[in-house]
């Protein structure tokens, strides 16, 4: 099974609620898009920072998952976001997640969130902890 199929198999309610659609998925790069809906916006009609961070965090977690050994899990340890431009309701944002470090215990990912026309809207760097499989 290819890696994009693995991610699209996830039936997480939060991913569905965000409206994320995965575009590509390899161990080195995951991309997705999301339409900015009113319920994801602040009262100015701009994508809420928390919704943008959740979009990027999900990309980093999914990218980590594609690099884990059987039975291992992941959780976010740290995330830093630089907000650079607003994403207005009705527009689409595209996230591209690339690795900065893929280690045994942690992985660090950088996600660029851009508009459809390529304008950089945010840069997110996150550290994911690798959770060893539970022993019986």
* pLDDT per position as a tens digit, 16-42: 999 999 999 999 999 999 999 999 999
> For the chain, which domains are there?
3-131 (3.10.129.10)
| Residue 3: CB atoms within 10 Å | 18
Nearest to 23 by CA among 6, 1, 36, 4: 4
Q: What distance in Å separates the CA atoms of residue 83 and residue 35, rounded to the nearest whole number?
A: 18
The pTM of this model reads 0.93
* pLDDT per position as a tens digit, 85-124: 999 999 999 999 999 999 999 999 999 999 999 999 999 9
Which DSSP string corresponds to 94-123?
EEEEEEEEE-SSEEEEEEEEEETT--EEEE
Structure tokens, 89: 């309701």
Structure tokens, 34: 């999301």
């Amino acid at each position: 099974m290819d890696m994009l199929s693995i991610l699209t198999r996830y039936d997480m309610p939060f991913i569905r609620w965000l409206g994320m659609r995965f575009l590509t998925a390899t161990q080195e790069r995951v991309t997705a898009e999301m339409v900015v809906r009113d319920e994801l916006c602040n009262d100015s009609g701009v994508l809420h920072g928390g919704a943008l961070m959740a979009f990027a965090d999900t990309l980093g977690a999914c990218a980590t998952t594609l690099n884990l050994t059987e039975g291992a899990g992941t959780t976010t340890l740290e995330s830093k976001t630089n907000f650079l431009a607003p994403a207005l309701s009705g527009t689409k944002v595209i996230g591209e997640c690339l690795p900065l470090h893929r280690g045994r215990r942690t992985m660090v990912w950088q996600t660029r969130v851009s508009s459809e026309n390529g304008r950089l809207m945010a840069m997110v760097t996150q550290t994911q902890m690798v959770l060893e499989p539970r022993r019986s």
